[in-house]
Structures are given as structure tokens and as C-alpha cells.
Amino acid sequence: MNAEKLKEYIALFGGLLGAVLLFLQTLGFEFTWFTNSSIEAFTNALLAAVPFILIVYGVWKNTYVVTKKAKEQKRIIDEHEKNKEEE
């Protein structure tokens, strides 16, 4: 999934919330916290938060100091580079 597809899904979610808002208003239900501006703010927050989360996940997965497996991989890489330099 690329960034553009993710933005489309977030926009779809915002549109669905807008449809729910209109449906509830048609039935006579009104919530002070559930308005067009709150839906727009929530959608904008998602648009900002999702890329941040993906970047943090990428950094986490590409760091060699987090898990035992990653530390072992880093040790093997360092040994391989050391052996390569000696040749």
C-alpha cells in the first residue's frame, strides 16, 4: 500500500463519517462534538498521524539495537565486513 492509496482510504473514512452525520441530523439527532469541522479535524489528524506511524515503524524495524535477533544480525554483518576488509 502506498501513501496515495492510504490517503484515499482516509478520505473515504472521512466521507463515511460525513454521511453518518447527515443521516443522524436527518433523524433529528445532533451532537455538539460531532460536526463537519470535527470530522475534518479528525481526518486531518489521521492524514498526519498515519505517515508518522509508518516512519516510526520503519525506523524501528531497521534498527539493530532493539531485539536480540537484530543484535545478532548486526554482529554477523560486522564480522562479515571485518573479514572482507582482511581479504
CB 39 within 8 A of CB 17: yes
pLDDT of residue 4: 81
17: which residues sit within 8 A by CB, 6+ positions away?
39, 42, 43
- The pLDDT confidence band at residue 15, using thresholds 50, 70 and 90, is very high
pLDDT of residue 51: 83
Convert the pLDDT of each residue in 33-66 to its tens digit. Answer: 889 999 999 999 999 998 888 888 888 877 777 7
pLDDT of residue 18: 92
- The pLDDT confidence band at residue 68, using thresholds 50, 70 and 90, is confident
Average pLDDT score over residue span 62-79: 82
